Amino acid sequence: MKKRTFVAMLSAVAIVAGMVSCNSSTTNQSPDLSDQSSILEQPVAESNSHTTAITSNNSFDEAIANNEKVVLVDFWASWCGPCKMIAPNVEAIAAEMRDKVVVFKVDVDQPFVAETGLLQRYNIEAIPCLILFRNGKEISRNVGYMEKEELGTWLGKNVN
């Protein structure tokens, strides 16, 4: 099995685990990732980040519609191992391509995401999910972990 396929499957399992926890009568607890490799302990975004967090449906709609650059939206969650693994790659690409691409991050566990049906609106079934928008319209998407070079190639095909 290819590494990318395995990571995508792992993402799907993590999402299902999160949904079961959210829908059960027990308290909503995220899976414990503390025993995982050190890459999972890295923050998703640092203070000197080249990415911007989206915290409301209005800011999401404005971000993708009112932008001269191509918009990359990273749908992620703090409990998602592959999301934490891809975060440094997204950050690096955001810095390298800041003249062509603006990068936003949406934490799928934020209340506005569920309240507005954002995941359903964009058919997001697994994370990390990276979606490229141009003039408010989706032009490409990629689900699962990608190495930095692979991410750069994917963006290069869609940005010019």
| Catalytic residue list contains 83 | yes
- Choosing from 7, 14, 83, 108, the catalytic residue is 83
For residues 109 and 112, what is the distance between their CA atoms, to the nearest angstrom? Answer: 8
CB 126 within 8 A of CB 7: no
For residues 128 and 154, what is the distance between their CA atoms, to the nearest angstrom? Answer: 15
Cβ-based burial of 142 (10 A; exposed 0-12, middle 13-18, buried ≥19):
buried
58-93: b (≥16 Cβ within 10 Å) or e: eebeebbeebeebbbbbbbbebbbbbbbbbbbbbeb
- Choosing from 7, 80, 108, 131, the catalytic residue is 80
| Catalytic residue list contains 129 | no
Instruction: Give every CB contact of residue 106 below 8 A, 6+ residues apart in sequence.
Output: 53, 54, 60, 73, 74, 75, 76, 113, 118
For residues 58 and 54, what is the distance between their CA atoms, to the nearest angstrom? Answer: 9
Any idea which residues carry the catalytic annotation?
A: 80, 83
